[in-house]
Amino acid sequence: MKKFLIIIICLISIVGCGKKEVVPNIEKDKEEETKELTVEDYENNKVDELGEVPIMMYHGIHNKKNDETDYIGGNVDKDGYQRTSEAFINDLEMFYKNNYRMIRLTDYVDGKIDVQLGKSPIILTFDDGLENNIKVTGLDADGNIIIDPNSAVGILESFKEKYPDYNVTATFFVNGGLFNQPEYNEKIIKWLVNNGYDIGNHTYTHVDFSKASGDESIKEIGKIYSILDDIIPNKYVNIVALPFGSPYNLEHENMKYIYESTYESKTYKTKSALRVGWKSESSPFNKDFNPMFLKRIRAYDNNGEEFDIQMNFKLLENTKYISDGDTSTITIKKEDKNLLKSSPNLKVVTY
């Protein structure tokens, strides 16, 4: 009798527990998957998807220490358009430690900001297609390019390994000389787009649009799109970095040729244009966001003044975009509701 009771109890407990455990677990998992963040989560993380986004403007990265130049900080030239590799590495460390994670410029323009809860997006751009952006030292036995670890891409690749969650990426804006390595240019461009980087348009001869004719403007833009189309069809971004930031206003008559036209029977359409910058740009969900005239931060040092890196990142401490970690929602503070663009196409959460 005792034995029989024990068996019954065991059976009941196996069947019962089995049922009880399996069913609630499934429900619990579902709950966690769709778990809505609370106001407290937003407050603790200071979520603000109407905050500002830094688009960094780099040119050359020179394999030098900061004390090997004649200028302040990591500047290689007087105006700080060229930067030392030491300073570039320090920039990348600083961005990461301040919870910035990289996103593609083209995704930002499209309003796709995929970073984790509490993290902020940052965008890297390089103008002029300088050799030191991605210096190729030769080919390996399989014909793949060997990249100088001290060039910009060499450094970026080391950060890919160091911080896998950094989401390392950048957009390179080239002229007719591409990366100025005729032997390797095509291989470089293919390698970049196959390894998470983007290529954009910086005009064929680095033209000043305020001084160019309409026909010249079309050729300057159309020719680069055409070259990229031949090497990496459909894989380049239709974004122009305006040389010298010119023309300096959207009303300029050449802007329409930067937007769209036809060059040698090929039609092109530009989705975004970048200025030579000084400060961070607004969220793509802000009503004033204009993808045709985006500001950038000049990556240079000036003792924390005149919108150098230090000054900009200090300003950003209070104004930066901070993600809710969910690409399907835009989470904003109640008081900012009037700043939101009219048809955001995503679910809006206010707190």
* Contact positions vs Zn ion (CB under 5 A): 127-128, 243
CB nearer to Zn ion: give 108 or 126.
126
CA distance 49 to 327: 11
The CA angle 283-287-289, to the nearest 5 degrees, is 50
CA distance 88 to 184: 24
- Nearest residue to 48 (alpha-carbon basis) of 109, 89, 99: 99
CB nearer to Zn ion: give 51 or 243.
243
Cis peptide before 247 (omega within 30 of 0): yes
CB nearer to Zn ion: give 205 or 310.
205
Q: How far is the CB of 185 from Zn ion (least distance, A)?
A: 18
Q: How far is the CB of 130 from Zn ion (least distance, A)?
A: 9
CB nearer to Zn ion: give 54 or 200.
200
- Nearest residue to 111 (alpha-carbon basis) of 338, 351, 323: 323
- Nearest residue to 296 (alpha-carbon basis) of 274, 318, 313, 312: 274
115: tokens are 């970073």
Q: How far is the CB of 224 from Zn ion (least distance, A)?
A: 12
Owner of token pair 């009880």:
20
Q: Which residue has the CB atom at the shortest distance from Zn ion?
A: 127
Q: Which residues contact 153 (CB under 8 A, 6 or more apart)?
A: 133, 134, 147, 170, 192, 197
Helix (H) or strand (E) holding 306: none
CA distance 202 to 243: 6
CA 65 remoteness from chain centre: 26
CB nearer to Zn ion: give 120 or 217.
217
Q: How far is the CB of 59 from Zn ion (least distance, A)?
A: 7
CB nearer to Zn ion: give 73 or 129.
129
CB nearer to Zn ion: give 241 or 255.
241
CA distance 149 to 135: 8
CB nearer to Zn ion: give 205 or 327.
205
Q: How far is the CB of 202 from Zn ion (least distance, A)?
A: 6
Q: How far is the CB of 62 from Zn ion (least distance, A)?
A: 16
CB nearer to Zn ion: give 69 or 125.
125
> 203 with 243: CB under 8 angstroms?
yes
What is the amino acid identity at position 274? Answer: L
Q: How far is the CB of 203 from Zn ion (least distance, A)?
A: 9
Q: Which residues contact 4 (CB under 8 A, 6 or more apart)?
A: none
Q: How far is the CB of 206 from Zn ion (least distance, A)?
A: 5
- Torsion 251-255-261-267 (CA) sign: negative
Q: How far is the CB of 295 from Zn ion (least distance, A)?
A: 16
CA distance 47 to 351: 9
300: tokens are 């240079």
